[in-house]
């Protein structure tokens, strides 16, 4: 069983990483599955947070290397729209990274923060905080609901 949990932790890390980058699914399901399989809550939360955070930082990096011309050419987004969003990002700055935990749209926030060159370290810390609190909340919900079944 211990070997199974070790592979489960690796799978959780990889799944949480990919969920914050290219795959449109929620890593919360993986977290709950690991808790149900008997994984240590602290380890499960830490592994999921680390994987999801590093995935979010990867999305930030993808945005960082992006160019306005690419948005117009590949996605049909006009420069005027880009600059309107830039004003919003400049107003809220790294605080937007707290929202990177939100499934699906959170990944977009990470890319946008990188694209507009939001300060890295504050963005990274707020991203870590948001993602970590998300997994703590899911673990708390699991332990609250689990005895009912």
pLDDT digits (tens, 9 = 90+) for 89-107: 888 989 999 999 988 788 8
Query: Rounded to an integer, what distance in angstroms lies between the CA atom of residue 108 and that of residue 75?
Result: 14
Average pLDDT, the chain: 90
Q: Which residue has the higher pLDDT, 2 or 39?
A: 39
Q: Which residue has the higher pLDDT, 62 or 104?
A: 62
Handedness of CA 128, 105, 36, 136 (dihedral sign): positive
Instruction: Judge whether 52 and 18 are in contact, CB under 8 Å.
Output: no
Instruction: Judge whether 43 and 13 are in contact, CB under 8 Å.
Output: no
pLDDT of residue 149: 65
pLDDT of residue 134: 96
With bands split at pLDDT 50, 70 and 90, how would you rate the model's confidence at 47?
A: very high
CB-side neighbour CA atoms (13 Å) of 44: 25
Q: What is the pLDDT of residues 125-139, one digit of tens each?
A: 999 999 999 999 999
Q: What is the pTM of this model?
A: 0.89
Distance of CA 64 to the CA centre of its chain: 16
């Amino acid at each position: 069983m211990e070997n199974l949990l070790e592979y489960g932790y690796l799978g959780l890390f990889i799944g949480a990483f990919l969920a914050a980058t290219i795959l449109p699914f929620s890593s919360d399901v993986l977290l709950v599955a690991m808790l149900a399989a008997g994984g240590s809550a602290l380890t499960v939360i830490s592994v999921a947070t680390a994987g999801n955070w590093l995935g979010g930082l990867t999305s930030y990096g993808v945005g960082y290397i992006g160019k306005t011309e690419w948005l117009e050419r590949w996605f049909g987004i006009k420069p005027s729209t880009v600059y309107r969003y830039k004003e919003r990002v400049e107003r809220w700055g790294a605080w937007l990274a707290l929202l990177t935990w939100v499934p699906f749209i959170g990944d977009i926030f990470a890319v946008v923060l990188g694209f507009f060159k939001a300060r890295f370290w504050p963005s990274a810390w707020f991203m870590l905080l948001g993602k970590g609190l998300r997994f703590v909340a899911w673990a708390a919900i699991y332990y609250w609901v689990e005895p009912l079944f």
